[in-house]
Structure 1
């Protein structure tokens, strides 16, 4: 069985994190097309519904084993030649080369049952559970650049979050946690 990868939550590149850990990531580009923004994606990116977006869907493998299905909706145009380079590199590296620098993101993490297609891509038997992350990333100017909907095989992947408790004793403010009323992705 391939190694289990634990990624510390940060705004970075999964491809780079895997490489830095001594693993060999590869990518199969499943879809690269221009689509009209749905109302859901348009709301997330702060654009008008129907606006043309770059849609990427990729299968990320580590040491030959399917780790994740990565889906991105980008406000930035990515040409076919550039998308072809994603088989041997990461999307964020490509964006940096094109002058797009991510600075801030909001990410939500959930667990759910995988679809039949996701089980097949991840080479898991149905029914299987997956970890999901949905993220909106912004550039240095605060403009939304991408909306992601990624699906991870939890037998091979874990999210890690470093936490600290900085409040003085007796402080009743519980920080930035809040009820948003949003349903987890896939639970609509």
Structure 2
């Protein structure tokens, strides 16, 4: 005969009842970083960064999925995250549950995936992601270089000042040295990078005196 070890269900009710919604993506906040991560990673072919290998393990996890989880973990973490911590996140964090397709990969699975990455793959992924974000998502022309010499004082308060004259003079010197360097690069390498020979402050001063 079974012994009743919980006779009072009124004063000692520790049961946890599931509640709607049960779907993990619905429980993720709309402004969570995972959404911007998926937008940036969706067009990146991560499979090409793995070394070709033949595996007879039909129950192994998808390598691209594991790499996405690793990249997202290093994106949202402010410190170096261990593989065991990553394994724990895939069991407790709804965002990692969503990225891993509700699977629970072990830390050894993540280690095997990192071992299969080609040499320099992380750097190549970073540059491809940066190019995709800048060109495709933000519509920035990668052939145009912008040099900004603006100086802004950190931790500003009512008794701190940023002097306009010093900023303008420093910006002129930086622009002149940058223009001279671009001219040398064009003549040495045969490039044809265009640049304006006057700063915007020169244009404003000439307009004020006109």
TM over 0.5: no
Which structure exhibits the higher relative contact order, with contacts defined as CA atoms closer than 8 Å and separated by 6 or more residues?
1
Considering only CA atoms, is the larger Rg found in Structure 1 or Structure 2?
2
Counting helix residues as a fraction of each chain, which structure ranks higher? 2
Q: TM-score, normalised by structure 2?
A: 0.19
